[in-house]
Amino acid sequence: MAERYGHAALAVALLGRAQASDRECGSGATGATQAATIEISSMRSPSIWISLLLLTGCGHDGTPAKRTIVLGIDAMDPGFLERHWMELPNLRRLRDTGGFQRLATTVPPQSPVAWSTFATGLNPGGHGVFDFIHRNPATLTLFSSMAETEPSRWTFPIGPYRIPLSSGHVRRFRRGVTFWELLDAQGIPATLLRMPNNFPPVESESHSLSGMGTPDMLGTFGTFTFFTSESGQSKRAVPGGRIVPVTLDGDRAELVLEGPENTLRKDRRRTQIAVTVWRDTEQPAAVFEAQGRRFLLCEGEWSEWIRVSVPLLPPFQNAHTMFRLYAKQLRPALKIYVSPLNIDPFSPDLPISTPPSYSAGLAAAVGPYYTQGIAEDTSALREGVLTLDEYGQQAGLVAREQFALLHHVLRRAARGVVFFHFLGIDQDSHILWGRHEAALLETYKKTDLEIGRVARAYPDDTLIVMSDHGFSEFRRAVHLNRWLMLEGFLTLDLPFNTGDEEGLVHVDWAATQAYSIGLNGIYVNLAGRERNGIVKPSERDALVDRIVQRLKALRDPETGGTVVAEAYRARDVYRGEASATAPDIVVGWNTGYRSSWQTALGAVPSVVFEDNKDEWRGDHCIAAHLVPGVFLSNRKTRRRELRLEDITVTLLNEYGVKPGAGMTGRPVF
């Protein structure tokens, strides 16, 4: 038989007789596969075993070909689950058949920090992500902790254009080797849908689509546009968006969207996208046209994705983007919401997937989808552009697209690790927590339904449902820089220069010992590290101890309650080469409190406490022990206390892959 087929072809012939549905080998093999293995084992050539391993999908050490599905449900809260088990039958079934445990999160419990720990298995001191916002100590400029774009260093001027002679670069700040890179090295495939803080995606053999941290085409986390013909409106920027007045010419209007900067021009002039509107004279409907494509919307209706090209260097180079329209009101005033300009997955101008063609393949299979990392438009709700119901519709569009991607991938990824991140519960919790329990439960129910679909369709796979942190209420904002000022740790150039001006612009650095940036961090104004540092390294620990002591003594003058549940010294909680860039103190706020938005961006308002009247009523940037995540699985665990790092090591252990350097987690199965 070997002479007839050749060794490799023989392996194919023998295994073809086995049941195609049998994805396991070794002790779990069917009789047909076992027979094929016995017959092949009598042959002398080792190439037979190589062929067999490749064909059966066995691991490098003979471990079975299997699949592990990880559903990362951002901010799923253990307390919320416990209040609603009866309404969440699929999650309850996982609890009863496998297990349910609280999952210890990171310090601080912010999504980019926690998911970076999950991706690398490292303490934040190892991967170097400590907040949504970091600062450059040499310049005191603020930047996103996730990524930045570096333009081409070499250009050639031609008229109004500056032609790049080399490609630009998008740099990711997270350090460390990810679990899927370690799996890659051993031939174990991974598919990663919307992995947070993975923009641009790690170059690997895995199939991946970037998630949280992926910008829109303006380079922001999401900038909507709201066109209105209401009188008295002025063109202005608002947090997360733009308000643009529009003039009606009878029943016709021209909407001009601001596109990305044309970086090929010397003046970096913004591109523009024109959308023409014709209102029906009798019905609440309108025809829209964008670059020759016409579509009809009734009042209260959302469009499909509108894909357009923006000329950069005609006729040689265009940018590609897409957006959705919402016809909020057509009469008497015209009110049109336009989503942020998303990267077009069919023609991405920024790297969003590996391989680069993967985003287009997904779009071809399920249709265009939000590529923006944080797709639910909470900003439009907070600015009154969308009502709560309209926000719910938009978030529902996001969820349907993302779950369609998940089910498409699960039908095709035969083995290895499949990871899917869903941000909807997190974003809805920020808006609904503590005020609209029933509405938030609907989001949990929809997620529970999809989890049930996965569990029933793939009962032989290991299924893990996890979250990076839980949730809490946000009643009172604390202007931490103002508190530092009153305590004598921060000084302004003039005492009355308080306000919402960002960037620590009025700080007298020659008399300032500490300042706050981000949602949890306090930095010492350290000599030799900060641009104008005055605190000697030998004095840092004593200063940190003094600030920690006073933080723990802070009381809310309105209630007398404790404001800070824990104040973490960086030297106590962080390990790794990146620890030197961490905040010196991480403030673990008590339930109900959080750093103000102004503090995060370096402002020094005139008061310490302020009631939170924003639509953003829930949060999790508090003490880590107050907002643990969740862990559920269809398999029993062997340990009582779990940490995020344990899940990372578990995924490696399932395929016989050793943890990477610096990983401290332990397998849970």
What DSSP line would sit under 19-67, residue for residue? -TT----GGG--HHHHHHHHHHHT---HHHHHHHHHHHT--TTSPPP-E
CB 71 within 8 A of CB 420: yes
Q: What is the pLDDT of residue 3?
A: 31
Using alpha carbons, select from 612, 615, 618, 568 the residue that is nearest to residue 591.
Answer: 618
Q: What is the pLDDT of residue 14?
A: 27
Residues 6 or more apart in contact with residue 405 via CB below 8 angstroms: 193, 194, 209, 362, 366, 369, 420
pLDDT, position 49: 34
Residue 134 — φ and ψ, nearest 5°?
Answer: -115, 170
Distance between CA 229 and CA 231 in Å, rounded? 6
Residue among 400, 336, 401, 328 nearest 362 (CA): 401
What is the rounded CA–CA span in Å between residue 634 and residue 619?
Answer: 29
Angle between helix 31-41 and 7-16 (nearest 10): 160
**Cis omega before residue 108 (within 30°)?**
yes
Write down the pLDDT at residue 151: 63
Taking Cα atoms as reference points, which of 65, 45, 43, 42 lies closest to residue 53? 65
Instruction: Indicate the domain borders of the chain.
Output: 2-65, 67-144+180-214+361-471+627-659, 222-349, 474-625
Q: What are 475's two structure tokens?
A: 């009643």
Q: What pLDDT does 163 receive?
A: 54
Whether the CB-CB separation of 604 and 507 falls below 8 Å is answered with yes
Give strand pairing partners of 237: 242
Q: How many Å apart are CA 488 and CA 506, to the nearest integer?
A: 15
Cα 599 to Cα 597: distance, rounded to the nearest angstrom: 5
* Sequence-ordered alpha helix ranges (H) in 251-357: none
Q: How far apart are CA 285 and CA 618, in angstroms?
A: 37
Report the candidate in 323, 361, 314, 316 with the shortest Cα–Cα distance to residue 343. 323
Considering only the top CATH level, what class is 67-144+180-214+361-471+627-659? alpha beta
C-alpha dist (Å) from residue 59 to 7, 52, 187, 594: 21, 11, 7, 47
Each as own residue / partner, the long-range contacts of residues 309-314 (CB below 8 Å, 24 or more positions apart, any chain) are 310/259, 310/260, 310/271, 310/273, 311/271, 312/262, 312/263, 312/264, 312/271, 313/161, 313/163, 313/264
Tell how far CA 77 is from the center of its chain. 17
Beta bridge partners of 134: 143
The candidate with the shortest Cα–Cα distance to 94, out of 111, 62, 69, is 69
Tell me: cis bond preceding 315? Omega within 30 of 0 counts: yes
* CA–CA gap between residue 593 and residue 613 (Å, rounded): 13
Task: Quote the CA–CA distance of 495 and 485 in Å, as a whole number.
Answer: 9
Torsion of CA 185, 187, 188, 191, to 10 degrees: 80
Instruction: Give the residue ranges of DSSP H helices in 508-613.
Output: 537-552, 570-573, 597-600
Question: Is the pTM here over 0.85, yes or no?
Answer: yes
Inter-CA distances, 517 with 479, 487, 535, 593, 617, Å: 11, 17, 18, 16, 21
Two structure tokens written together for 339: 């989503």
The set of residues, in sequence order, having a beta carbon less than 8 Å from that of 168 and lying 6+ positions away, is 149, 150, 151, 152, 263
**Cα-Cα-Cα-Cα dihedral of 632, 636, 640, 644, to 10°?**
-40
Return the number of other C-beta atoms located less than 10 Å from residue 537's C-beta. Answer: 12
Taking residue 244's Cβ as centre, other Cβ atoms within 10 Å add up to: 19
| pLDDT under 70: residue ranges of the chain | 1-65, 148-159, 161-169, 264, 315
Task: Identify the three-state secondary structure at position 83.
Answer: helix
Residue 665 DSSP class: -
